[in-house]
Structure 1
Amino acid sequence: MSADNRFALMPALRQARAVLGLSPAVLATLEAMLTCLPKTGSAHVVFASNETLIRRRNGVSDRTIRRHVAHLAAIGLLRRCDSPNGKRYSRRNPLTGEMLRFGFDLSPLFGRADEIRRMAAAETARQEACDVLRLRIRTVLSAVPEEQRMDLLRRLRRRLSLEELEDILAPLRSLEPDTNTMPTPPDHPATELVTSDGMTATDSQSVRHCQRSNQETRKDSPSELRPDQIGAACRFALSFSATDISGWPQLCDHADRLASMMGIDGDSLRQAKARCGPRSVAKTLMLIAEMKSRVKTAPAYFRSVTTGMRAGDFDPDRLIARRLRAGAA
Structure 2
Amino acid sequence: MESGNVTTPFGRRPMTLGMLASQAAAREIEPGQSIDKWKLYRALCEAKPLLGITDRALAILNALLSFYPKGEISEENGLVVFPSNAQLSLRAHGMAEQTIRRHLATLIEAGLLIRKDSPNGKRYARKEQGGEIREAFGFSLAPLLVRAEEIERLAAQVVAERLHLQRLRERLTLCRRDIAKLIEMALEEGATGDWSRVHLHFRSVVERLPRSPSAEQVADALDELDLLREEITNQLEMQVKVQNQSGNAQHDERHIQNSNPQSITELEPASEMKQAATADDRSADRAEPTVRIQKDEEKNGRVPAASSASAAKGALKSFPLGLVLQACPEIAAYGPQGSVGTWRELMAAAVVVRSMLGVSPSAYEQACEIMGPENAATVMACVLERAGHINSAGGYLRDLTRRAEKGEFAIGPMLMALARSNSPIRGKTG
The TM-score by the shorter chain falls in which range? 0.3 to 0.5
What TM-score, normalized to structure 1?
0.47
Larger radius of gyration: 2
The structure with the largest helix share of the pair is 2
TM-score by length of 2: 0.37
